[in-house]
Amino acid sequence: MEIIETIKDQIASNSVLLYMKGSPNAPQCGFSARASQVLMACGEKFAYVDILQHPEIRANLPKYANWPTFPQLWVGGELVGGSDIVIEMFEKGELQPLIKEAVAKTE
């Protein structure tokens, strides 16, 4: 059960957190690549966890989040969604203020 505590701690400790395959500079799937590119375009720092390096997180996060796929974007402790939702929010101009607000609360 301690992996769930690790996940909760990661989410609580990072105002913007992307669970993805690979890293923002070397994504390992197209969905993770697009989600991390959109986040970088928001201009704020964000944390990420490479689920390929952490199989226990990859196995348990979908159950915890009740979200089956990766990437998963968490902002201010809340699950925003996956790649399609993140890109859609960015295109509508909804993601940038959400990210900026979450980061501002922790500064």
What's the predicted TM-score (pTM) here?
Answer: 0.96
Residues comprising the binding site for glutathione?
Answer: 21, 58, 70, 83-84
DSSP run (H or E) holding 17: strand 16-20
Q: Which residue numbers belong to the known binding site for [2Fe-2S] cluster?
A: 29
pLDDT band at 1 (very low <50, low <70, confident <90, very high): low
Burial class (CB in 10 A: 0-12, 13-18, 19+), 95: buried
Which pLDDT does position 105 carry in this prediction? 87
| Distance (Å, whole) CA 29 – CA 50 | 11
Q: Where are the domains of the chain?
A: 2-106
Question: Looking at domain 2-106, what is its CATH homologous superfamily?
Answer: Glutaredoxin (3.40.30.10)
> Residues annotated as binding site?
21, 29, 58, 70, 83-84
pLDDT, one tens digit per residue, over 39-93 is 999 999 999 999 999 999 999 999 999 999 999 999 999 999 999 999 999 999 9
